[in-house]
Structure 1
Amino acid sequence: MKQLRGKPLKDFLKQVQQPKRDLIFILQDVQDPINVGSAFRIADACNVQELILTGISAKPPHPLLRKVARGKQRRVKWSYTEQASDAIISLKSKGFMSCALELTPKSIPYYEVELPDKICLIVGHEDHGITKRTLAVCDMFIFLPMYGKGTSMNVHVSLGIAAYHILHAPRNT
């Protein structure tokens, strides 16, 4: 058995049915360019509509972000706005529901949430998470259960897990 590469790989991936859910990422104050570069790669892999960077998030053309993103920062539509809450409010006016990946008293496990067809997924700062101002405008809150001794994962790892679940979760009918 050998790995698929080049045209055979592209042909193989074209056979996979793409999920029918609109997804946007919002990165609030994600400082580490490795996390942001990885988010661009995840956004490309998930075919997100847009990646919105806010606050003190690392932005292209940061050299480490560019290296980690491997060109995806040129392929993925992205924008910058100062306040994540403003981006969320704007997206709500376009029919999106906001989903914060954060531990709050109202958070439910990511695999138990009923998901709409248009969703923006918000992740926050590596140490401080999502701000209270932003949480105040979010529609739902999810978390990834931790079964080991640690209580958190890298931002981009959590983003990838949640994004793929959102894309492949059953659709409301």
Structure 2
Amino acid sequence: MTANPRRQLRPTDVKRLNRTWRRNTEGRLALIVESVTGPFNIGSIFRTAAAFGVERIWLSGNATPPTNPKAQKTALGTDRLVAWEGPLSAVEAVRAAKEDGFTVVAVELTGDAAPLHEAKLGGDLCLVVGSEDHGCSPALLEAADGVCYIPQVGRVGSFNVAVATAIALAEARRREWSGKEPPAGE
């Protein structure tokens, strides 16, 4: 009799699966989070960043730090798994990312933004997300190497910033992993 393949994985199996995906991941990811003030958004962004292997987050503007107690509730301790610094100005954060070898791409609705699925997301990539109300500042958009947006077909004008971050990070990793063999057991 064979084991049911649809059973939930045990913690040891999950660790083994994640380790295999890590071995198949070469690209570096980073984030600039500009003026995101909602602590639950910050906590979600840090948790998602840790899950996708983001190596550094630069907090810009008046972004809430992950040490905020409400952010901690959502982050569940994952902020200790991702290096972060800030607050920095938007231009300082972009400069730091570029000096560290990252291409900086903002996730924002602008006239020249490429749809996320067509955007250049290869190599060492630093994605930028902006405040819940106003998005990325003009100074940050000017300093970025490129801009992309997440296409939508519904009647809502935008995503929550934490959700948009998760979608963009997932797309960057999906692109890297596409064409590679899935980990054993998939």
Normalised-by-shorter TM-score class? over 0.9
Moved more, 5-14 or 110-119: 5-14
Would you say 1:15 and 2:20 are equivalent positions?
Answer: yes
Superposed displacement of residue 96, structure 1: 1.4
Superposed displacement of residue 133, structure 1: 0.8
Alignment of 1:150-165 (within 5 A): 150-165=156-171
Note closer, same or farther for the CA distance 1:95–1:82 as it changes in structure 2 (3 Å cut): closer
Which of 1 and 2 has greater Rg? Answer: 2
Could you tell me the percent identity over the aligned residues? 33
C-alpha RMSD over aligned residues: 1.5
Question: Aligned AA for 1:7?
Answer: T
TM-score of the pair, normalised by structure 1: 0.92
- Residues 96-150 of structure 1, C-alpha deviation per residue, up to 9 Å, x if partnerless? 1110000001101000012231111000000100000111101110000110000
Equivalent pair of 2:43/2:74 in contact (CA under 8 Å): yes
- Residues 63-95 of structure 1, C-alpha deviation per residue, up to 9 Å, x if partnerless? 110010000012211111331211111222332
Measure the CA separation in 2 of the matches of 1:162 and 1:126: 16
Match of 2:106 among 78, 100, 104: 100
Moved more, 56-65 or 121-130: 56-65
Q: Following TM superposition, where does structure 1 have runs of at least 4 consecutive aligned residues deviating by more than 2 angstroms?
A: 12-19
Measure the CA separation in 1 of the matches of 2:110 and 2:17: 41
Question: Aligned AA for 1:41?
Answer: R
Superposed displacement of residue 19, structure 1: 2.3
Equivalent pair of 2:105/2:144 in contact (CA under 8 Å): yes
Equivalent pair of 1:28/1:55 in contact (CA under 8 Å): yes
Measure the CA separation in 2 of the matches of 1:48 and 1:69: 14
Q: What residue number does 1:166 align with? A: 172
- SS of the aligned residue for 1:49 comes to strand
- Residues 16-53 of structure 1, C-alpha deviation per residue, up to 9 Å, x if partnerless? 34322111011000010111000111110011110111
TM-score of the pair, normalised by structure 2: 0.86
Alignment of 1:69-148 (within 5 A): 69-148=75-154
Superposed displacement of residue 170, structure 1: 5.0
Note closer, same or farther for the CA distance 1:135–1:14 as it changes in structure 2 (3 Å cut): same
Equivalent pair of 1:19/1:168 in contact (CA under 8 Å): no
- SS of the aligned residue for 2:117 comes to coil
Aligned length: 171
- SS of the aligned residue for 2:127 comes to strand
Would you say 1:39 and 2:45 are equivalent positions?
Answer: yes
